[in-house]
Structure 1
């Protein structure tokens, strides 16, 4: 890639990022979220730069599914002012420092603390992990059904994203394995060789939106998996992306897990008029104005509920649907 191309791409990202940040400020004028009564915990890990984006993500989500508890694992960048903003908009929010969720057998940083927090909470709760770069714009009955039935769900990357046994995972990964391969591919090629149970499963999903049913063993399974992969990969196991692999492994082996229908739940490049849930992953976030446009529509939906006299988290009978 030429220097001119890199400069152009950087300028374009900065332009669309600035437009998005301006658009989402409107979320600060919307009503606070009221505590819901659905039996699950909604958990996110939030960085200071993403506080407003998170508020759009959580308020759009609870417009359709409002849980009993909302938990944020606070990145060390989160300030007291950030915490005050979060409490203003989600008065019942539980703010937990990331340093609370560490273990000698798992890496530090990235989103490992988030996953370790989930692994503790699932002892007594159904937990949904929600990234700050997500938007919910239509009803999500598949997610509600998963919570009610106590089964796991994962955000797939293709239609009917398969849940595979580890030998099949390795076979697929080997086709992509080459010098400089992503750590996810490397890990997927080696999982079958570290002594995991012969019936262990894996799904190539996205940890940005995942449902974990109650489990008394998830935390032990997580640390055991991390120990085995550390023994196999050494310092490579500390690379960015290993938490997502671990999340995929854990949810694949959770009770009744299924992949959410794609592209009803998916990335913006594959969206259709039926898309209900968007995940604006980094490579797709600020390449055009779609994140800004969809965020504006989500905020209008939230404002419309307030104008109709409906508290956030208690959706109107006919919620506004973005175009």
Structure 2
């Protein structure tokens, strides 16, 4: 069964890739350097067309903003040339140039640190390469205008929860995944302003202007490393919970309404393979890795986006 499932995923990915490359034929979008909003995405070579779909679909629905791409080190000169032609005026920053201080290196920590550098003076929106913005996003426009933080969430944790409660409930969960271990220990952390926790996803999140945010991140990182040990704290997934904590430190924050903003298949909405499950009902989908190609929905929605929005703008 696993063999057949993996074979199906590979086939679905190939079909998606054939559609996604059509994004290069669409009209470019433009980075507005003078904008007080900047979107950022960490991009790797194999996700080039995915990232262009993610960023171009977001900008088309959001409007004027600056754009920054964080190169994980795998982008070729040709990749960068394509990015610059499709996202005109984009800034490309190499991940190796981001100093994470006393925080971990790798596993997307450079992305979070870069976000916090940028939000010293501008509103920053993290847009993952595996997201699609398929409809209007009035909640995002409002959050930026009101300087409210946001993150994409789920139907169970659909609003901020008390720190003591998340630690209590996480202590009852099985397993020792890094995010769960962090959440079990949140009540033991001393961080000014950390009274509530937004259990969201780092794939799509908004960070209002906050001058001292990196110092807060280092303080949190140092405490968690002391509680969990360096090896555990450096595992993949620690940045996800750290991003949630940084969002949680804002006095004004929202978990975006589900299923209008959703992680694809996590949880399932029924017939996840049918684009009709999402069209007209969802604004942003994050095609989380474990579910990304279980069906052909990513391909179908990408094609719909190209045919009905991006190519019409050409």
TM-score over 0.5 (shorter chain): yes
Aligned partner of 1:225 among 209, 220, 235: 220
Aligned partner of 1:11 among 7, 10, 15: 7
Aligned partner of 2:283 among 273, 276, 283: 276
**Alpha-carbon distance in 2 for matches of 1:43, 1:205:** 18
**Structure 2 gaps, min length 5:** 270-276
CA RMSD of aligned residues (A): 1.5
**Alpha-carbon distance in 1 for matches of 2:25, 2:42:** 23
CA contact (8 A) 2:59 2:65 kept: no
CA contact (8 A) 2:194 2:249 kept: no
**Alpha-carbon distance in 2 for matches of 1:244, 1:78:** 23
Distance 1:268 1:198, change over 3 A: closer
**Alpha-carbon distance in 2 for matches of 1:154, 1:111:** 17
- Please, which moves more after superposition, 22-31 or 264-273? 264-273
Aligned length: 300
Who is 1:257 aligned against?
253
Distance 1:267 1:195, change over 3 A: closer
Who is 1:100 aligned against?
97
Who is 2:166 aligned against?
169
- Residue by residue over 1:244-288, the C-alpha shift from the partner in whole angstroms, topping out at 9 and shown as x without a partner, is 000000001114101111100103333543111111001110101
Who is 1:303 aligned against?
311
CA contact (8 A) 1:152 1:254 kept: yes
**Structure 1 gaps, min length 5:** 307-323
Who is 1:205 aligned against?
200
Aligned partner of 1:24 among 13, 20, 25: 20
Who is 2:82 aligned against?
85
Who is 1:313 aligned against?
none
- Residue by residue over 1:11-51, the C-alpha shift from the partner in whole angstroms, topping out at 9 and shown as x without a partner, is 11111111111110111111111234753000111011111
Shift >6 Å, 4+ stretches: none
- Please, which moves more after superposition, 106-115 or 157-166? 157-166
**Alpha-carbon distance in 1 for matches of 2:70, 2:36:** 20
